[in-house]
Amino acid sequence: MNEFQILVFDYGVKRTGVAVGQSITGQATAQPPIAMDNGQPDWAEVEQLLARWRPDAVLVGLPLNMDGTVSEMARRADKFRKRLHGRFVLPALAWDERLSSEEIKREARARGVRDFGQHSVDSEAAALIFASWYEALVDVDAWSTHTLSLKDLPDSL
């Protein structure tokens, strides 16, 4: 089996969660989120993350609508994914992340967290995106082709 490491992003307009996933354990570790300026990161900060972790690829969660159609936020996240690929020439994968943030928030509420502005769960959501992606991976050696394409999905109804 080829070992790999992936930098995962839970894209947001104000803040983007970050996690580092790897194939040895099939798990991801949440990292500090990055601040966004109307959906735009500080690209130097992203470059520092990539230099630190040296991932084999990046994975961006796409928040599809509940019916599986493409949301405006999914389009923005996919644009972010394409920019990552264009700027850093890494494989840039995408995955359906419907309700990942809500699942993490539900778990956090059970622990007593109420202020998600102060207690960001975005990076925990990024780790959950990796877990979902990895769990659905049928052939670990084919990881670099395990991605979702918006062009194969219906537009919003």
Domain boundaries, the chain: 5-98+113-152
SS3 139: coil
What integer pLDDT is reported at residue 104 of this predicted model?
Answer: 67
Judge contact between 19 and 28, C-beta under 8 A: yes
Task: List, as one string, the DSSP characters of 105-122.
Answer: HHHHHHTT---TTTS--H
CA–centroid distance for 17 within its chain = 7
Distance CA 80, CA 19 (A): 16
Q: What confidence tens digit (pLDDT) does each residue in 80-137 have?
A: 999 999 999 999 999 988 766 666 666 666 766 666 565 567 888 899 999 989 988 8
Are the beta carbons of 65 and 156 closer than 8 angstroms? yes
Let me know: does 86 contact 125? Beta carbons within 8 Å.
no
| Model pLDDT, residue 119 | 57
* Residue 65 pLDDT: 83
Which one-letter DSSP state was computed for residue 156? P
Express as a percent the part of the chain with pLDDT over 90. 58
pLDDT at 105: 63
Could you tell me the pTM of the whole model? 0.87
Mean confidence (pLDDT) of the chain: 87
110 or 35, greater pLDDT: 35
| Average pLDDT over every residue of 132-153 | 84
For position 157, what pLDDT does the model report? 44
For 86, residues 6+ apart whose C-beta sits below 8 A from its C-beta are none
What per-residue string of b and e applies to 103-138 under the rule 16 or more CB within 10 Å gives b? bbbeebeeeeeeeeeeebbbbbbbbbbbbbbbeeee
Task: Give, in words, the CATH class of 5-98+113-152.
Answer: alpha beta
Rounded distance, CA 55 to CA 47, Å? Answer: 11
